[in-house]
A and B are shown apart, each in its own frame.
Chain A
Amino acid sequence: DQQVKQNSPSLSVQEGRISILNCDYTNSMFDYFLWYKKYPAEGPTFLISISSIKDKNEDGRFTVFLNKSAKHLSLHIVPSQPGDSAVYFCAASRGSSNTGKLIFGQGTTLQVKP
């Protein structure tokens, strides 16, 4: 049972345009959401997060939107740069738990073309 889903395995965009990566979740107990970025042969690195009490969080070129009623979040990258080419993982957690477990989606491979 996949609690966090990224239904697009890959995305290709032109440099300078917007990249939109999507993520859906099924567990309404999740109250914190994160995006991680992963380059080949490296571990995932934290990118941006959002609490369920918010619907938007920005950090430079990266913005995450949360739609709780739809159980959907998205990551917007504007403008996209070739260095953004990587695998992006969406993750969710329950802040009320004392384990800090993160449940990840399958990942979306972003390619930004020069």
Chain B
Amino acid sequence: DAGITQSPRHKVTETGTPVTLRCHQTENHRYMYWYRQDPGHGLRLIHYSYGVKDTDKGEVSDGYSVSRSKTEDFLLTLESATSSQTSVYFCASLDRGDTEAFFGQGTRLTVV
């Protein structure tokens, strides 16, 4: 399995504060993704990256931004957290030419 870690694993934050979640992979995978998992919605793509400094929006990108300054790190930032962003966030990575993405263990974020 790919070495992909997320930090923090759990976070509670207040409405209106900025929050950054980190994803780190050691497999030199080209593609990285951020998903959120919510009951009844499955996994929804927030943002993805197809290379260093190359990112694009997914289906639920409003309120989120990302950055990828190094191959191994993909950061997800909630500019001003809202209660609707309470969710479990998963990072994934994929190598060029592969089709099976590997996932991190998730970050449970609670916005109060």
Interface size bracket, B side = 20 to 34
User: With an 8 A cutoff between CB atoms, is B43 at the interface?
Assistant: yes
Give residues in B with beta carbon < 8 Å to A.
Answer: 1, 31, 33, 35, 40-45, 48, 50, 56, 58-59, 90, 92, 94, 98-106
Chain B residues in 8 Å Cβ range of A44: 43, 90, 103
Task: Pick from B42, B45, B92, B94: contact of A6, CB below 8 A.
Answer: B42
> Do A101 and B42 form a contact, CB below 8 Å, given A32-B99, A45-B103, A93-B99?
no
Count CB-based A-B contacts (< 8 Å). 63
Q: Which of A78-104 contact B (CB under 8 A)?
A: 89, 91, 93, 95, 98-104
Count of A residues near B, CB < 8 Å? 26
B35 partner residues in chain A, CB cutoff 8 A: 104
Residues of A within 8 Å of B100, CB to CB, are 34, 46, 49
Q: Is A59 an interface residue (CB 8 A)?
A: no
